[in-house]
């Protein structure tokens, strides 16, 4: 179970009932007043963001957002939220690695192009395609069409 900071150096054990009470209190405040929940203390980020979205929809509260908040709360305990956050983090790292890899390739290409005017036309077209994909943020398109660029 998580621990909650109670002072500079002390913490207390938090029970599932404490977490539920905190969630229900934040849920009620978001629905009734539209106030955003405070910094997540007992709930995880997915649950916190679901409560935030619910508060943003005030005063026209959508029942689907309430259901999503409850699903996020349940996901905190069954591992769904943790898996979702890990997948999102892994995807972001892969995207960043791909962009860095592409930037380096484009830099190398530009350097080589200046030093050697006898580059083949096919290589130039491939690098221009890569540059346009990078500029548009469409790395999936690049990876599917140009196998020389690894997806990670």
Question: What percent of the chain lies above the pLDDT cut of 90?
Answer: 30
Mean pLDDT of all residues belonging to the chain: 76
Quote the pLDDT of residue 13. Answer: 81
Residue 11: φ, ψ to 5°: -135, 160
- How many angstroms separate the CA atoms of 34 and 37, rounded? 9
- How many angstroms separate the CA atoms of 122 and 109, rounded? 13
Beta strands in 14-140 (DSSP E): none
- H or E segment at 17? helix 16-33
Q: Where are the domains of the chain?
A: 3-78, 96-145
> Tens of pLDDT along 32-68?
999 998 877 788 889 999 999 999 999 999 899 999 9
- Closest of 120, 138, 127 to residue 104, by C-alpha: 127
Quote the pLDDT of residue 131. Answer: 66
pTM of the model: 0.56
Do 102 and 142 meet the contact criterion of CB atoms below 8 Å apart?
yes
């Amino acid at each position: 179970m998580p621990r909650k900071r109670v002072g500079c150096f002390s913490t207390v054990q938090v029970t599932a009932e404490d977490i539920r009470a905190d969630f229900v209190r934040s849920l009620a405040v978001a629905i009734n007043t539209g106030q955003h929940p405070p910094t997540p203390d007992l709930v995880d980020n997915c649950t916190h963001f679901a409560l935030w979205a619910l508060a943003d929809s005030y005063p026209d509260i959508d029942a689907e957002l309430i259901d999503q908040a409850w699903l996020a709360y349940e996901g905190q305990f069954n591992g769904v939220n943790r898996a979702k956050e890990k997948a999102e983090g892994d995807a972001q790292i892969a995207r960043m690695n791909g962009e860095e890899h592409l930037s380096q390739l484009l830099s190398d290409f530009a350097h080589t192009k200046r030093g050697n005017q006898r580059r083949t036309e096919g290589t130039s077209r491939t690098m221009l395609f890569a540059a346009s994909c990078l500029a548009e943020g469409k790395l999936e398109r690049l990876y599917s069409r140009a196998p020389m660029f690894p997806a990670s």
